[in-house]
Amino acid sequence: MNTQTHRAIGVFDSGIGGLTVVRALMERLPFENIIYFGDTARVPYGIKSVETINRYAAQITDFLIKQDVKMLVVACNTMAAVAHQTIVDLSHVPVAAIASQTIVESVPVLEVIDASARMAVQNSKTKSIGVIGTPATINSNAYARAIHLLDRDARVFSQACPLFVPLVEEGWFDHPATRLIAQEYLKPVIAEQVDTLVLGCTHYPLLKPLLQEIMGSSVKLIDSAEAMADIAADLIDQKKIGNIDGKPADYTFYVSDLPYRFQTIGERFLGRTLGRVELKSL
Ligand code: DGL
């Protein structure tokens, strides 16, 4: 494996929601360079077909692999739910040819679903776990599968919350309309008396205070961004690929479109000023 530790972590998402994952990575791994790709021209993915999401995910993976990233972080729950295998298939990169043998480097792929499922299983005492996400994520059943692989006895209650993404993009984190919609979506999940709720979408961490209030303080909310940062840190440690060049970390943000209010919304997700933003259509 190419062990140049200064190589960036490639993070990708369907839009700018994945900046919640970048934010968690910056806090957890402050010396790591990051290259982010957000498909702002084609967001949202959560209501698109499996075929389309796979095609888009393949294009982004290809782009980031060409940027020579040392690790791929799939921030988008929707892509992780339906396109994980496509991304893994594209992560094996030929790096050299010796005699007639091709040497292949496999760039590690981390995705939010496995990370959050682990955290949910560790935290749940009653083994009743709620999961909220986009329609594509919930319909894929990926969270329930991941949780059951870790604990066969866990009971999983899933709920699609399609209106949350536009509400968050609008900045309506505690708006009466958001509250009403959240109460409606969460009603069946509350009825199942879950003790843990997975926020299975890049946008939902921004609704955390409201969702916590509606669910009640005894319910543990699993933030997929934090879960992701934890497993990224573990993998970097384990593979000894942490950046040791001593320079301040470099962040590059690629987007496929620069939509209206991009800067404002992006900085809200990132929690700080967005650095260099470059336009890149795939
Ligand atoms: N990034 C998506 C996710 O985490 C939410 C936005 C979208 O639907 O594309 O599921």
Q: How many Cβ atoms sit within 10 Å of the Cβ of residue 147?
A: 26
Task: Mark whether 189 and 58 lie in a shared domain.
Answer: no
Find the residues whose C-beta lies inside 6 A of ligand 1.
13-15, 17, 43-46, 76-78, 133-134, 137, 165, 201-203
In a domain, 1, yes or no: no
Task: Mark whether 101 and 14 lie in a shared domain.
Answer: yes
| Final residue before a domain boundary, out of 205, 224, 243 | 224
Whether 281 has a pLDDT exceeding 70, the answer reads yes
Q: pLDDT (tens digit, 9 = 90+) per residue, 224-240?
A: 888 899 999 999 999 99
Q: CA 9 to CA 168: how far, in whole Å?
A: 26
CA of 124 to the centre of ligand 1 (A): 25
And the tokens for 232? 């990224």
pTM, entire model? 0.92
Phi–psi pair at 172, nearest 5 degrees: -90, 65
Catalytic residue among 26, 76, 80, 199: 76
| Final residue before a domain boundary, out of 224, 240, 264 | 224
Q: pLDDT (tens digit, 9 = 90+) per residue, 118-157?
A: 999 999 999 999 999 999 999 999 999 999 999 999 999 9
Ligand 1, from 12, 201, 265: best to mutate by most atoms within 8 Å of Cβ?
201
In a domain, 197, yes or no: yes
CA of 212 to the centre of ligand 1 (A): 21
Q: CA 70 to CA 242: how far, in whole Å?
A: 10
Task: Mark whether 208 and 237 lie in a shared domain.
Answer: no
| Final residue before a domain boundary, out of 182, 197, 224 | 224
And the tokens for 13? 């998402």
In a domain, 25, yes or no: yes
Ligand 1, from 78, 132, 139, 206: best to mutate by most atoms within 8 Å of Cβ?
78
Q: pLDDT (tens digit, 9 = 90+) per residue, 15-43?
A: 989 999 999 999 999 999 999 999 999 99
CA of 252 to the centre of ligand 1 (A): 21
Question: Ligand 1, atom 8: nearest CA belongs to which residue?
Answer: 46
Task: Mark whether 92 and 160 lie in a shared domain.
Answer: no
What is the total count of domains within the chain? 2
Task: Mark whether 235 and 217 lie in a shared domain.
Answer: no
> Is residue 76 flagged as an active site residue?
yes
Task: Mark whether 188 and 231 lie in a shared domain.
Answer: no
Q: How many Cβ atoms sit within 10 Å of the Cβ of residue 221?
A: 20
Model confidence at 3, in pLDDT bands (50, 70, 90)? Answer: low
Task: Mark whether 219 and 117 lie in a shared domain.
Answer: yes
Task: Mark whether 162 and 234 lie in a shared domain.
Answer: no
Task: Mark whether 176 and 265 lie in a shared domain.
Answer: no
CA of 241 to the centre of ligand 1 (A): 29
Mean model confidence pLDDT for the chain: 93
Q: Between the CA atoms of 154, 159, 165 and 166, what dihedral angle is there, to the nearest 10 degrees?
A: -170
In a domain, 50, yes or no: yes
Domain that holds residue 85: 9-111+226-279
Question: Ligand 1, atom 1: nearest CA belongs to which residue?
Answer: 76
